[in-house]
Structure 1
């Protein structure tokens, strides 16, 4: 497990981190100025909304929990995550979260002085924030499956005055945390495919669970509270995280589509893989089909809920990744990595200029003999989102195995997980 990342790894330039410890008071003053500026930005963006979270962000020096090579402007970037460990393939497996998502998750957790809080995925910085909020009478337990991560977190927390206030343990949290709990709040800082039964067992009856929940490849950080035998969402935030390791790990399936030059387009499926992907053999050698939806959006406007809509309402949904050298790589900037497979074709989300140069129109590009079919399936859901989803906020519920599923609302859509089911209810969508 890890501390968490933002939507994607940020490229960190190898510049020496400057702090008072290294080169003097002037740099400590600069760090303080950046800290103040960060807080003001997070307040203006409504990521910080409470005095308690604001005070924590003003009290904790982010740079002291970063690797030495990280520059101050990176440490205090609003949406910059910092990788602290990679595996043998170069994949990030531990990181310091972007400031905006740390602030937002702390707000989602509704922390108060005196609380006992479990952090799943350790790194040090987030635990320091939590310790500041719960105060001397509170307690923080931070766990991670990787002993190297917990050793680093322990060292940094102790060096910055949090010894005795934060207990750091190397454990696979999917199996629970021995001799700890119940917890007033549990904050999960890794991408979780499901909610582990042990987390619900360790959560106080009136506690809050905040976690990045992966739903068919698309993640939302959701705050949950109990409602009888199930959980209901109290808040959501767009974010991406490195996936959980250990017993809670869920492997996606990746299929390679080679082009005539030997480069690949990769189709990544979280679940519900179409039955015969062999029908896509040679698909990139076929002529491309374009279909446009008529749905438009202005520049600088978020459409993240369109991705979520696809994940829930588009059978055959997948994520795309492309090699340099493919036709898709040459067209980056005109499409997004969300697609669908239909028959002997796949389609992906595309845009073209619209609104007199002030925005774009959504559409689909497809390859394969069934290109019209695949593109039409994607465009149909773009139009459905444009009609029913783009101006509404969905709500979620989680129904553990053994809960009364007959109580699920008729307008909710159900997604089955290992230990239960997640539902989404989108106003006006039945």
Structure 2
């Protein structure tokens, strides 16, 4: 029996929309209508309908010679909450940086016949594919151009909304220059190794966050490309352990590799989390609170062998202290594993002190910021320190990004 039928596609699309509502990714009638209207499977031919319409599944459309994913149709959940962040209304002009076709079609539904959508990508294979799929799906009016995303697309500027659908390390001047004065930029910005989809608006000469969401994306290519660096601490094949470094950070890799082989020290915070509570706000706090921050990543065999006591394959918040380091960990407090205590494991000559420093910041988060949202600001490079808000300052190529938290009275 052929399950890839229009009727089955419609049923699966309805289920996807219901799932996105349940996940709080779709929050408005306008975004729901767009998802019901655009046939997602037309933008991912050859994939099963179940895969295409799964709410949290991305469809990879291109990999490089090393097998690294360089283009995808993003998961519907991420596309939905980014469109909600953007707040697109009929008649708007919207730039999408990073093409694929499907998201541009959703935007076209939101702006209507009076609006204008421009989708750009550095890769002509991707734009050709997007152009073909958009035409086949009935969205001929979407503009598609081969452009390095760092440059934006001045031809159709200014834009009421700019949505970036590739992970980026910085915000180039072209995006702010091409954004309308009352416009909004939604961008998956990587800061200290952590990526958040942030909705920015202008305040004078800089951008200020309105909200943000945890996300993951393939990385920007071209002039804006900036990959995370790895400091490998354990390189037995299949058991690799490494620190993921960002923002041109330098560490003493050889001494940290030696530290990992030394006995561990533990410190425990007394702070607890439920088994299904998210970690992302704690990780963001630690990234902003500790001076030398990295993410400790390990392959499963390394975790299973106990070389490191972390459950995250992507990376766990880590404090680097010269030749020592400490990373966040947990331990269950009951047999059902429904409650966990947060702690830190340290390695190196100052392992105990480093672990205790990380644990103290976990306590500060719990006491002062557990229910808070951070505030991101993006100022032009060269902005003097006294013109920046209090908080962590991250210097990038084009900008100075700050992360601040509400002050406690």
- The two structures have a TM-score, normalised by structure 1, of 0.88
Give the corresponding residue for 2:333.
354
Q: Which moved more, 1:207-216 or 1:394-403?
A: 394-403
Give the corresponding residue for 2:406.
427
Say whether 1:51 aligns with 2:29: yes
Give the corresponding residue for 1:367.
347
Q: Comparing both chains, which one has the higher relative contact order based on Cα–Cα distances under 8 Å and sequence gaps of 6 or more? A: 1
How large is the Cα RMSD of the aligned pairs?
2.3
Say whether 1:391 aligns with 2:346: no
* 1:259 CA displacement: 6.1
Contact kept, 8 Å, 1:260 with 1:285, in 2: the verdict is no
Identify the match of residue 260 of structure 2 among 284, 291, 315: 284
- Say if 1:261 and 1:141 are closer, same or farther in 2 by CA, change over 3 A: closer
Say whether 1:270 aligns with 2:246: yes
- Say if 1:172 and 1:342 are closer, same or farther in 2 by CA, change over 3 A: same
Q: Which moved more, 1:181-190 or 1:48-57?
A: 48-57
* 1:233 CA displacement: 1.4
Give the corresponding residue for 1:12.
none
Contact kept, 8 Å, 2:383 with 2:400, in 1: the verdict is no
- Say if 1:306 and 1:67 are closer, same or farther in 2 by CA, change over 3 A: farther
* 1:65 CA displacement: 1.0
Give the corresponding residue for 2:295.
319
* 1:387 CA displacement: 1.4
Give the corresponding residue for 1:161.
138
SS of the counterpart of 2:33? helix
Say whether 1:93 aligns with 2:93: no
Say whether 1:108 aligns with 2:115: no
Q: Write the distance in 2 (CA, Å) between the matches of 1:261 and 1:403.
A: 45
Say whether 1:117 aligns with 2:97: no
Q: Write the distance in 1 (CA, Å) between the matches of 2:386 and 2:2.
A: 56
Q: Which moved more, 1:98-107 or 1:255-264?
A: 255-264
* 1:284 CA displacement: 3.3
Q: Write the distance in 2 (CA, Å) between the matches of 1:284 and 1:317.
A: 17
Contact kept, 8 Å, 2:326 with 2:345, in 1: the verdict is yes
Identify the match of residue 183 of structure 1 among 143, 147, 159: 159
- The two structures have a TM-score, normalised by structure 2, of 0.92
Give the corresponding residue for 1:196.
172
* 1:114 CA displacement: 1.3
Q: Write the distance in 1 (CA, Å) between the matches of 2:225 and 2:286.
A: 23
Say whether 1:141 aligns with 2:118: yes
Give the corresponding residue for 1:221.
197
Q: Write the distance in 1 (CA, Å) between the matches of 2:294 and 2:238.
A: 22
* 1:260 CA displacement: 7.5
Give the corresponding residue for 2:146.
170
Q: Write the distance in 1 (CA, Å) between the matches of 2:311 and 2:63.
A: 29
Give the corresponding residue for 2:269.
293
Contact kept, 8 Å, 1:212 with 1:222, in 2: the verdict is yes
Q: Write the distance in 2 (CA, Å) between the matches of 1:266 and 1:329.
A: 16
